[in-house]
Each structure stands twice: as C-alpha cells, then as structure tokens.
Amino acid sequence: MLDSLLTTLGPTVATWATFFAVLLFAYALYLLRMYRADQLRRRLSQIQNFQIPAAGKSSAQEGGFQVHWLKPVGELIAPDKEWRRSEIRRQLVKAGYRRQSAIFIYLGSKLFLSALGVAMVFIGYIVTGNFSQLVTPLAILAMILAGGFSFFIPDLFLGRRIAARRLDFIEGFPDALDLLVVCVEAGLGLDSAVDRVSREIRISHPHLAAELGLIPLEIRAGKTRREALQGLADRTEVDQVHSLVTLLLQAEQFGTS
C-alpha cells in the first residue's frame, strides 16, 4: 500500500519540490546580487564621505536572520569552557569580527549550513523520484557527508578572510611605516602619529587602518601603550609588525628615540 501511495504522490511531490528548489535558488541569486550591489554603493559612499570602512558588520547589517535565528542557535551549541570560546573569538578578531555576538552567529551558521546540506540531499532524492531510497545506507551516508562538509564551510570562509586581511597588512605596512616616520619627525607624538597614519591610509588599506586606529582608542579606554601595541601584533600576525612593536616597546622601556 505504501508503494502504491508513493507511486501516486511521487510525481506531484517531485514537481512541487522542483518548483520550490528553483524558487529558492533564484531568490538566493537575487539576494547575492543585491548584496554585492549594496556593498559597491556602501564602498563608494565611504570613499566619497572619506569614512573608514568598518572592519566588521554594523548593527544595521547584523540584523534579521543572523540575530533572530543564527545567534540563538549558536548560544545553544556554544562551548561551556571559556578557553574554547576565547580561541574562537581570537580567530574571529583576526577576521575583523569583534562584536560579542559574532561567536554565536558563527556557530549558528555552521549548524544552519549543516542542516541545509542534509536538506539539499533530501530534496535531491525527492526530485529524482527516489523517495523510497531515503532510508538506504547510501542516502544516509550522502546526508552525513553533505552535512559534515557544510558544517566546515564557515571555517573555510573565515580562513580566506583572515588570509585576505593578512595580505592587506603586508602590502600596506611599508606605506604606513613611511608615514609614521614622517609624522614622528614632524613633531607628533607616537599615539597621535599612529592615529594620523590610520586616517591617511583608510582608503588604500582599510584593514590595516582599522587595526592602527584601535591603538589610540584602546589607550584612551585605559590600556597601556604596551598592551595596545602588543594587541596589534597579535591581531595581525605579521613579522614586520612584530618587529616594529618590539622596537617601539624597547624604545619606550629604555627611553631611546
């Protein structure tokens, strides 16, 4: 009886599943196109108004689906041990995500994409008319593989973003160092010079400018110069920046120029 019911409903279910799959795919392409267009408009607006591009997403961008769906899911599966959370936050900071909710959105996106991968395999079996084979070992293995691969997609995205930011640090550091020397020789203090350099390179090297701009802000918030400079070296993980920070810390310690 079940076979006859599946035979009767199979074409109808497959038709509707195909329709919704195509509809979701078209909607995803539309959102991607609108997102890229919005990125371009925002970038042009920042250049026109001479603003520093935000390192992470603003509160307006970090809304809707991320806050209402991904964040609660991420809070449920977030590790209890603080050292594990600190390690995840450290990677997110390297990628430019400094908000407190970033770790929960990141974990929630991993679980959401994993469930989406399983759902895509499920829909694929329905569309191809193999609904009765969903309980076979091959189908279960395909769902597990799809879910496992999708689970690590945010890690791949995070790694690529960290690599892109690190490349920007490496390419922009020589220009920033030259400007820093000029500012110091012109009579500016180190903190003022770093702040001026961050404002000068915010168009050509926005990621490095954002990291340099954090130094005077952290000092005003109560951190020592040593802690602020060490934080810059830890966030960038670039040998040249480490060398500069070491030089500045030694100069401050021994009172040299």
Helix (H, G, I), strand (E, B) or coil at 97: coil
Window from 16-20, 92-96, 161-165 with minimum mean pLDDT: 16-20
Contact 105, 74 (CB under 8 A): yes
Return the amino acid letter for 108: G
Q: At residue 14, does pLDDT exceed 60?
A: no
Question: For helices 239-254 and 153-185, what crossing angle results, to 10°?
Answer: 40
Across 70-97, average pLDDT: 87
Across 76-90, average pLDDT: 87
Window from 33-37, 197-201, 253-257 with minimum mean pLDDT: 33-37
Nearest-angstrom CA–CA distance, 171 and 204: 10
What is the per-residue pLDDT across 21-77, written as a single tens digit (0 to 9) for each?
A: 565 566 566 656 665 555 556 665 655 554 444 444 444 444 566 767 778 888 888
Of residues 144 and 62, more confidence is placed in 144
DSSP 163-212: HHHHHHHHHHHHHHHHHHHHHHHTT--HHHHHHHHHHHSTTT-HHHHHHH
Q: At residue 240, does pLDDT exceed 90?
A: no
Taking the complete model, does pTM exceed 0.75, yes or no?
no
Res 196: pLDDT? 92
Across 154-170, average pLDDT: 91
Closest CA to 96 of 216, 223, 213: 213
Q: At residue 220, does pLDDT exceed 70?
A: yes
Of residues 79 and 35, more confidence is placed in 79
